Structure 1
């Protein structure tokens, strides 16, 4: 009995660690074995909670780069404990979610050898829909659906049909098949059927990836990666230098024969008034603005000779504490936010104030595939994401770029990513990543964005395939239970 419990514990530990390492690295090669280990403990909420805790601790280890926080007024002695507490809080949230899923699995008794496929499909579809829902909430989640890239673009091609949530559900089903085959010694036939299933979904995904709506036109843009340290950007000296830096970048972009320069999230302060002196081309940039008494982080358009920036879309998903502050006395929230607290904008990510229309993701809104699909359905012809991932390490940039790659595949749109320290890249509608500027290096680079209007099945249907699967699995489970009784 003791050995059995010890083995189960170590399966939870190993599975969680593999799941945390999978995003932006080996993808399904690590994720499917980690999920197979999860199925082996699926009816044991405490062990599943350990799996979830370790998965988030490993995948979100870049959160420790928040330290030091002294530039925000946090005492040096508290800086590392606060960063570690934020990291641990996110991990505990993941742990709680896995415990709930495991409790549901235990109730359905899915881990018995004679459990039907209906139960597995039900649990997988619930997980997939949960990932879609979590992607629209304040915390930044790296779900198993988004872990597919960049390692496995063929499997990611299926997101054209089933989106991020569908990829999550599919990997869970494949992992269940692997676990059943290994743990119950189903034999050679089961193994061959499992391998054929893996091959089939990859062939279907690769075929889906080849289809892309024809390019209707080209948009010539320049991307600027300024590499302004976040811990210094609000200093008086940095603010004094900013106009000259932007003006120089605009003239460098103009020499590339482009229509506009795109700059990253949060570049301009809220007191910015209008166009730059002798501004040669349009500027699309992130910046802050006041809307009556509310401060917002926005995508702004500054045309040459404009008297003031034109807000195109406000950021909707705000970072807890870093951007969105709780309603506490001012003395309690000192040092929690460098920007003093922001208010969210509309949930829509569709931008029609610039031609051609854009689907915009500001920072970790890139994880919300449903919102960008809705903006694409509304008429967006290309995707744009602007971000500031400083002071986080390159690991987060890789995870961010993998999510951006998935968004391009899901929507069948070219995506331009422009970030303060990276990633600054152009991603084609088929998911091909073309780096524009190396991480951490200042530069201005040209990007030719192909504009498209065709809609992928996922843009048309959203999560309906998963919802139908969930309903069918529930009906099948009820009928199976009635038949057995």
Structure 2
């Protein structure tokens, strides 16, 4: 095997290791090791790294099969799922190949290149998370094992966490490829970066920084209804019975709010009781079908307010120009249109910022909602029929979002994870996955703003500007030196 081919194989295996380093492991040292060959890779090898990382981290996509419940013929189901999985890997590989080309052009040995390229990677994750195709990146890789490093999200968001991971990987690479005479300096630089990043992250999570807010209780209903049967009449009746019992029990215990992961069909009335309900469901906006979290006031059977899902699943919920094609997409509920980007749900008590399904991957909407007054976060998702791998990734993202904006988060999920996470990213309570459960959670309504909530990606952009300016001054000095 030639040297180039051997390096490509090693780089691809490193990418697979990067995919494994994400939740449920969430073990950053594995990622730092995986990043070492990426910094010295050719663009083609970098593309293999990115493709392998995405294919391993997103292997839960294969659990979409079989798709017969949404009308896809059995012989086509597995090929469609495989094609979707491979397309995600190809897209990830293409993006990392472009990044690798830029690094190679700018000289990967220079610290200026490392700062610029790491910052651009982090910013790319932030921008991609606002689109329809992104799920999880290096920004969530420290969780659940390294909460101190994840604390950097309170300073500059998940993009800064991703960028610092890349920078740590670069120092590891420089330590290995540097001449023996200068290796000690690179080791000291790596140690300084590790101490600084973990110290800064942990400073955001220290006990003496913890804000004490007004506590309140919520009741969470985890219905555990199989997705492939969820819209059958019998299953819908079962869901309404669970909600009715949960609403009555919440009222009897004096709990003001019931949170069921219930996908109410269009126009479905809510069983009446004293407790307020925030439930998943569908509604019409003109002629457009929206997937929403609906708010039912105490003793009301009709929704009075809502937050619509703004980030809808391509093909699964939404198809471009669906009206002209007269095709409602692959969703069992037909074509769903995206709603407004605002995530703040106004109610009589503490207002939540709402993330529906994989909107949890995008922190910007929740940041805007907390800046507008949201005192806690609510994540509503149906993760059936996916494996535990996706549930663990969902939990890691929920922890990251809580740390970013310094708010408690309640997750209400069909089959789990239904849990409550505090503002420091600690899972305080959870319901057993895969079972119908009714749980009572206590959380706090907070107001303190994190640095990220105020400055957004400013630290990340500062890193990019610092790297770009340093590289430019070095280039100009070198050019003028040659001219003389």
Q: Same fold (TM over 0.5)?
A: yes
Q: Secondary structure at the match of 1:359?
A: strand
Q: Which of 302, 305, 308 is 1:311 aligned to?
A: 305
What is the number of residues matched between the two proteins? 475
Q: Distance in 2 between matches of 1:232 and 1:116?
A: 56
Partner residue, 1:103: 101
> Structure 1: where are the runs of 5+ without partners?
none
Question: Are 2:399 and 1:405 aligned?
Answer: yes
Q: Residue by residue, what CA displacement relative to the aligned partner does 1:371-392 show, whole Å, maximum 9, x if unpaired?
A: 2112111111111111111111
Q: Which moved more, 1:47-56 or 1:97-106?
A: 97-106
Q: Normalization by structure 1: what TM-score? A: 0.94
Q: Distance in 1 between matches of 2:449 and 2:329?
A: 45
Q: Secondary structure at the match of 1:446?
A: strand
Residue 434 of structure 1 and its aligned partner are, at CA, apart by 2.1
Q: Which moved more, 1:398-407 or 1:93-102?
A: 93-102
* 1:28-427 correspondence to structure 2 within 5 Å: 28-41=28-41, 44-108=42-106, 110-111=107-108, 115-185=109-179, 186-210=182-206, 212=209, 214-264=211-261, 267-273=263-269, 275-277=270-272, 279-328=273-322, 333=327, 336-427=330-421
Q: Distance in 1 between matches of 2:470 and 2:190?
A: 22
Question: Are 2:20 and 1:21 aligned?
Answer: yes
Q: Which moved more, 1:444-453 or 1:212-221?
A: 212-221
Residue 75 of structure 1 and its aligned partner are, at CA, apart by 0.7
Q: Residue by residue, what CA displacement relative to the aligned partner does 1:40-90 show, whole Å, maximum 9, x if unpaired?
A: 20xx21111111111111000000110111111111111111111111111
Residue 425 of structure 1 and its aligned partner are, at CA, apart by 0.6
Q: Tell whether the 8 Å contact from 1:213 to 1:453 is kept in structure 2 after alignment.
A: no
Residue 328 of structure 1 and its aligned partner are, at CA, apart by 4.6
Q: Tell whether the 8 Å contact from 1:256 to 1:446 is kept in structure 2 after alignment.
A: no
Partner residue, 2:482: none
Q: Tell whether the 8 Å contact from 2:319 to 2:328 is kept in structure 1 after alignment.
A: no
Residue 474 of structure 1 and its aligned partner are, at CA, apart by 1.4
Q: Secondary structure at the match of 1:187?
A: helix
* 1:415-454 correspondence to structure 2 within 5 Å: 415-454=409-448
Partner residue, 2:4: 5
Q: Residue by residue, what CA displacement relative to the aligned partner does 1:110-142 show, whole Å, maximum 9, x if unpaired?
A: 23xxx4211111111111110000111101321
Q: Tell whether the 8 Å contact from 2:328 to 2:335 is kept in structure 1 after alignment.
A: no
Q: Tell whether the 8 Å contact from 2:345 to 2:352 is kept in structure 1 after alignment.
A: yes
Q: Tell whether the 8 Å contact from 2:384 to 2:415 is kept in structure 1 after alignment.
A: yes
Q: Tell whether the 8 Å contact from 2:36 to 2:170 is kept in structure 1 after alignment.
A: yes
Greater helix proportion: 2
Q: Distance in 2 between matches of 1:220 and 1:433?
A: 16
Q: Distance in 2 between matches of 1:396 and 1:422?
A: 10
Q: Normalization by structure 2: what TM-score? A: 0.94
Q: Residue by residue, what CA displacement relative to the aligned partner does 1:418-449 show, whole Å, maximum 9, x if unpaired?
A: 10001111000111112320111111111111
Q: Secondary structure at the match of 1:290?
A: strand
Alignment CA distance shift 1:375-1:213 (3 Å): farther
Residue 93 of structure 1 and its aligned partner are, at CA, apart by 1.0
Q: Tell whether the 8 Å contact from 1:426 to 1:435 is kept in structure 2 after alignment.
A: yes
Q: Secondary structure at the match of 1:244?
A: helix
Q: Distance in 2 between matches of 1:131 and 1:143?
A: 7
Q: Distance in 1 between matches of 2:398 and 2:328?
A: 34
Q: Distance in 1 between matches of 2:16 and 2:301?
A: 53
Q: Distance in 2 between matches of 1:35 and 1:299?
A: 40
Q: Tell whether the 8 Å contact from 1:212 to 1:430 is kept in structure 2 after alignment.
A: no
Q: Secondary structure at the match of 2:439?
A: strand
